[in-house]
Homo-oligomer: A and B are copies of this chain.
Amino acid sequence: MTPDEPAAPPAPAVTPLVTRLTLARQIRESLVVRIVSGEIQPGERLVETRIAAMYGTSQAPVREALRELEAMRMVETRPRRGTFVRHFVQQTLRESYVVRAALEETATRLAMLAGTMPLPALRAEVKAMRAAARAGDAAAAARASVAFHRHIVDAAHNELLKLSWEALQIEARTSVTMVAAEVKLKDIARDHAELLRSIEDGELETACKHARDHQWHYADLPHDAHGRARRQVS
């Protein structure tokens, strides 16, 4: 059944979105922003059909997006009951730093033992952080920080470790922390420079401990972005 005449798709005119990503992915991204920003409240119910209508799609892509959010621990789904925004988004944020600490300490140990630590790349990222600090570009600083730590995790050459680390959705959380904890960009650059220094010095245990403390530090910071966002509504 092939029309030898190209039935010319003349004016679909209804697909304005430069859709190169799937709908589900786009919906997820949008929801993440709305949850993290506090626009959608903790405890709030996410009704699939309503969200579908809101985005002008069917229920299916919305469900997929919600499953992904659930995997990110941003929402909680009870079968046949519904999906709700978690209350402890900020607690989870804090927890994630402890887990990162565990994984990155080990990555540091593995990479140093194997002698695969990519020092030039690490120096470059610190440099990028300093530049971002000067420019006041928080997004750039966050990117450089994530890249710095990813270099280390990669250098460990342990795929499962990498896998577990990536599963923490570091990107998605880092920017949140920077806003929530009101971290100074200059402090970020300095902290990483210190960590790098101890790695360069080659003192294994010192560097490992430094790697761990580096993350535990963030776990201790106050994260009240959500409290703040909540307050202005209630």
Contact = CB atoms under 8 A, between A and B. Distances in A.
Contacts of A79: 21-22, 25
A110 B216 CA distance: 12
Interface string A164-176: 1011100000000
Interface string A67-111: 110111100000110000010100110011011011101100010
A160 B166 contact: no
The range of chain A's interface size is 35 or more
A179 interface: no
Interface in A47-74: 60, 63-64, 67-68, 70-73
A73 B103 contact: no
A163 interface: yes
A153 B63 CA distance: 30
Nearest to A28: B67
A103 to B, nearest CB: 6
A30 interface: no
Residue in A60, A96, A160, A161 with the greatest tally of chain B CB atoms within 10 Å: A160
A203 interface: no
Interface in A155-199: 158-161, 163-164, 166-168
Nearest to A166: B73
Interface of A: 21-22, 24-25, 60, 63-64, 67-68, 70-73, 79-80, 86, 88, 91-92, 95-96, 98-99, 101-103, 105-106, 110, 158-161, 163-164, 166-168
Given A63-B64, A68-B70, A91-B159, 16 more contacts: A22-B80, A60-B60, A64-B67, A67-B68, A68-B71, A71-B71, A73-B159, A88-B160, A92-B159, A98-B106, A98-B161, A99-B106, A99-B161, A99-B164, A102-B103, A164-B164
9 contacts: A22-B80, A67-B71, A71-B72, A73-B166, A88-B160, A98-B158, A99-B164, A101-B106, A164-B164
